[in-house]
Amino acid sequence: MLLFILKRLAQSLLVMAVVSAVSFSLFNFVGDPVNNMVGQDATREQRAEIREKLGLNDPILTQYVRFMGNAVRGDFGLSYRIRRPVDQLIMERLPATLELVFVSAVIALVVGIGLGVYTGIRRNTFLSRAILSISLIGVSLPTFIIGISLIYLFAVTLRWLPSSGRGGTVDLGWWTTSLLTLDGWRSIILPAITLSLFQLTLILRLVRAEMLEVMRTDYIKFARARGLADRSIHFVHALRNTLVPVITIIGLNIGGLIAFSVITETVFQWPGTGLMFIQAVDFVDVPIMAAYLCFVALLFVLINLIVDILYFVVDPRIRLGG
């Protein structure tokens, strides 16, 4: 067990080293950092002074070690465009992304499991078939087309919901939330549905397949023979046993939600980290790009590590076999 976790940890560190090396080389390959710091009219002496001050005359390895040292402390320097510390910018944008991901995950879970249980139990009704067919379309439509369609329907034609932005936010000191205002809730509905649709379909199909499997087992038949109520059989006996694979899939899919949040945030102009990255690419704002790369890599490494360990804890077969 310890060896397994150590191996995974070593692999994660290796991934982080590669990603940070890519981020670091971005600084050197893309433009001249000095040009990005000073104005057009800076003298040669001023430029040389800044070069020296930034340590750009040091050997490349020294620079890399310094970059790593700063990165570990979350310091990626000043944004070229906005001229503010990058870690501050990310921390400002992070609540928006996390709230969007959180609300989408809740929608995907509640609706996905609910519909999955329904289609698993009443498998031959018209409604079940309709839900399954619609879910197939949901999987094959690109995210941004779903987003545009929702905007056209609910924001442009019906004018029920806003099409962009986060609405009113409340500052809690360390976290600005839009979940405490009515306006904020109205704004989050469309992006959250867009982001959750794909995951919702996955969970629906998974729960349905697992339910079909479990409903055939002996202990369900026995529960029926004992005369238990249908609801208790479905939700206490059957659903509980479908949850192990569902939990692992959800764990892995939090990464998917973060990936697609880049697209959803751009469609709905949601002021999160994904939109910030896309804008940073447009303006070649290297510090933000580097920070976002490292941030996303760290997130995925952590998620995978946790899911790997969870597998280990949940499934004894892996524990004994590994």
Partner 1 sequence: MTDFSDPRPSRWQRLTDNDIFWSFIHSPGAMIAAAVTLLCILACFAAPLIAPFNPFDPAQISLWDGKLPPAWVDGGQPQYWLGTDNQGRDMLSTILYGGRLSILVGLAAVCLGMVLGVSLGVISGYVGGATDAIIMRIADVQLTIPGILLAILINGIGRAILPLEMREDFAIYVVIIAIGLTDWPQFARVARGATLVEANKEYVQAARVIGLPGWLIMLRHIFPNTLRPVLVIATIGLALAIIAEATLSFLGQGIPPTTPSLGTLIRVGNEYLFSGLWWITFFPALTLVVLVFSVNLLGDWMRDALNPKLR
Structure tokens at 192: 């959250």
135 binds partner 1 (CB under 8 A): no
Distance CA 9, CA 285 (A): 31
Site for partner 1 in 194-253 (CB under 8 A): 252
SS3 track for 97-159: HHHHHHHHHHHHHHHHHHHHHHHHHCCCCHHHHHHHHHHHHHHHCCHHHHHHHHHHHHHHHCC
Q: How far is CA 94 from CA 58, 98, 173, 305, in A?
A: 34, 6, 14, 22
Least CB distance to partner 1 at residue 78 (A): 17
148 binds partner 1 (CB under 8 A): yes
Q: What is the DSSP string of 1-66?
A: -HHHHHHHHHHHHHHHHHHHHHHHHHHHHSS-HHHHHS-TT--HHHHHHHHHHHTTTS-HHHHHHH
In the list 9, 72, 141, 313, the residue contacting partner 1 (rule: CB under 8 A) is 141
260 binds partner 1 (CB under 8 A): yes
Please answer whether residues 264 and 194 qualify as being in contact, where contact means their C-beta atoms are separated by less than 8 angstroms: yes
174 binds partner 1 (CB under 8 A): no
In the list 48, 134, 172, 281, the residue contacting partner 1 (rule: CB under 8 A) is 281
In the list 4, 102, 144, 185, the residue contacting partner 1 (rule: CB under 8 A) is 144
Which residues are within 8 A (CB) of 22 and not within 5 positions of it... i.e. 6 or more apart?
293
In the list 75, 255, 298, 310, the residue contacting partner 1 (rule: CB under 8 A) is 255
170-171 and 176-177 as β-strands: parallel, antiparallel, unpaired? antiparallel
178 binds partner 1 (CB under 8 A): no
Minimum CB distance to partner 1 smaller for 100 or for 223: 100
Minimum CB distance to partner 1 smaller for 49 or for 144: 144
CA-atom Rg of the chain in angstroms:
25
**Site map for partner 1, 293-322, x if CB under 8 A?**
x--x---x---x------------------
**Site map for partner 1, 65-104, x if CB under 8 A?**
----------------------------------------
Q: Which residues bind partner 1 (CB under 8 A)?
A: 11, 15, 22, 26, 29-30, 140-145, 148, 151-152, 156, 163, 252, 255-256, 258-260, 262-263, 266, 277-278, 281-282, 284, 286, 289, 293, 296, 300, 304
